[in-house]
Structure 1
Amino acid sequence: MRTLVSESQLKSPRGRAVYWTVFTVVAVAFTVAFVFPLLWMVLGAMKTAPELARVPPTLLPHSANVGAYVEAWDFMSLAHFFVNTVIVVLGAWLFQLAVDVPAAYALSKLKPKLGNVVLGMMLATLMLPASALLVPTYLTITDVPLLGVNLVNSPLAIWLPGAANAFNIYLLKRFFDQIPGELIEASTLDGAGPVRTMWRVVLPLSRPVLGVVSILSVVTAWKDFIWPLLVFSDPQAQTLSVALQRFAPDTPINLLLAGLVLASVPTVVVFLIFQRNILAGLTAGSVKG
């Protein structure tokens, strides 16, 4: 296979030196670019408000105040908004699995008429900017068709619009396509219907991609801001991201940074724990063995 740098050049002392130098510089540059904002936020929460406003700014706090995190937790009543966010996230996760998995299974294994057209229309929604869908979606949840109910300040306003996720459906379908048709046929011959086949045969084989879809759903719902800001006008029903924005004007900057760090911890921990699963699940089913 022809590459930009030949194998013989890489094996030479000069080639190895250039390769590792470039690799190290690029790796360090990208690491600093991604880690520095997070590090600045964590250390900034330990500074006093005057120190944060100092010019030129300091990286390390002169006297680290770890108690700012406890103070921020109490000052902004973050426990209440953490509970709100957990409820919203768990519901969004369950609704997405309940809708996306059967939809992907039907498109992959049941082969409905015009299935490719339906899939193409769903994928076309990924080409639209999210901001273009805010107004029609908001008008829909304020007066749900046929039911005529208003879902503002209800978690259903988050759960229902996000249930059918085109990217998740496509990801699941691509994985289901790689499951041998012989297994489906064998299950059918044993008298199992489509639902039982999906539950007993397909889903146990799909744990990697289900894990990826679950992680993406949880992280997306946790960090979402614009849509919860629109649908939760009641301050007591708001999620963590919206509540922090509401507290920002009247909260000392160091406490606000502490609140942002606390709000970021769950998603960072989830990614660090499951990063291998995310990469494995995203590539699973992409290449036939």
Structure 2
Amino acid sequence: MSASVRTLVRPAVLRTRRGRLVYWSVLALALVLFTAAFIVPLYWAATGAMKAPAELARTPPTLVPETWQPENYARAWREMDLGRYFLNTVVLAGGAWLVQLAVQVPAAYALSKLRPRFGNAILALMLLTLMMPVTALLVPVYLTVVDVPLFNRNLLDSPSAVWLPAAANAFNIYILKNFFDRIPDDILDAARIDGAGPLTVMVRVVLPLARPIIAVVSILSIVTAWKDFLWPLLVIPDPAKQPLSVFLQRVAQDTPLNILMAGLVLASVPLIALFLLFQRQVIGGLSAGGLKG
């Protein structure tokens, strides 16, 4: 006898005409509201960038530009020299992504499959950092970057000042470990019987099976590094080396509002495109429950 499935609405209610009407009405309303919450800000920014400054500052605002000025995007790219800051952002986000994978994947694999002594205590201490406010960690991390222990190096104005702290991400390690825990040990034991060492098992067995969750971690890492503002502002004081998030805030007071909004839209396009291209991998990776032995 199959177990009954508990739902918010009883199946008997859904079989009635009124029940179906109420259910689909509420569902449609929720979808419309959530879609509007995401689409309206994007529409407002994209169309606001194509308005004249006077129209953009008008109260009440116009929903559709009276005079379309799509050339504002080209002006923003040219006058604000966005190409340089796009490159800076790509270097910071790409490097942070690679460093995070190089540190977090082996750490999660070790905690999950190698089971070191005090592994649970180490994981608990990692997760404890998630309960702390980000601002509480700024000062100790900044002092570490200014004078790296043992090496006595100052990493300010270096991409390493962004890359290395990004590697210490307890959330990514946790979700990776959670996925690795669900990979059957029989598969790993078979590889060990064939003479594979721990590193070979990780590279040739675990990583191919973990591609969905690695894709999720990769996208989260890139998005976080791309839109980060406070930390790059602190550790990259040189204006020529700053990413888009810091640069746009720095020039906001001296830039026409429509040009600034065009720059903000251009800075958001890569993240939107990344999500649209890999949304299936994100959803699939987050919903993956491991493998069945």
Which interval holds the TM-score relative to the shorter structure? over 0.9
TM-score, normalised to structure 2, is 0.96
> Structure 2 residue aligned with 1:57, among 61, 66, 84?
61
> Structure 2 residue aligned with 1:153, among 157, 174, 191?
157
> Structure 1 residue aligned with 2:74, among 70, 73, 76?
70
Q: In structure 2, how many angstroms separate the alpha carbons of the residues matched to 1:199 and 1:257?
A: 44
Matched AA of 2:16: S
Counterpart in the other structure of 2:42:
38
> Structure 2 residue aligned with 1:28, among 22, 26, 32?
32
Counterpart in the other structure of 1:126:
130
Q: List runs of 5+ in structure 2 lacking aligned partners.
A: none
Mean CA deviation greater in 148-157 or 28-37? 28-37
Q: In structure 1, how many angstroms separate the alpha carbons of the residues matched to 2:73 and 2:186?
A: 56
Matched AA of 1:159: W
Deviation at 1:288, TM superposition (A): 5.9
Q: In structure 2, how many angstroms separate the alpha carbons of the residues matched to 1:139 and 1:28?
A: 47
> Structure 2 residue aligned with 1:199, among 193, 199, 203?
203
TM-score, normalised to structure 1, is 0.97
> Structure 2 residue aligned with 1:181, among 175, 181, 185?
185
Deviation at 1:117, TM superposition (A): 0.5
Q: In structure 1, how many angstroms separate the alpha carbons of the residues matched to 2:63 and 2:133?
A: 37
Q: List runs of 5+ in structure 1 lacking aligned partners.
A: none
Counterpart in the other structure of 1:141:
145
Q: In structure 1, how many angstroms separate the alpha carbons of the residues matched to 2:29 and 2:241?
A: 46
Counterpart in the other structure of 2:223:
219
Contact 2:93/2:222 (8 A) holds in 1: yes
Cα-to-partner distance string for 1:52-101 (whole Å, 9 max, x where unaligned)? 11111111100111100000001110000000000011100000000000
Matched AA of 2:139: V
Q: CA RMSD in A?
A: 1.2
Q: How many equivalent pairs are there?
A: 289
Counterpart in the other structure of 2:98:
94
Mean CA deviation greater in 29-38 or 83-92? 29-38
Structure 2 counterpart SS, 1:160: helix
Percent same amino acid at aligned positions? 60
Structure 1 counterpart SS, 2:12: helix
Matched AA of 1:208: P
Contact 1:174/1:285 (8 A) holds in 2: no
Counterpart in the other structure of 1:116:
120
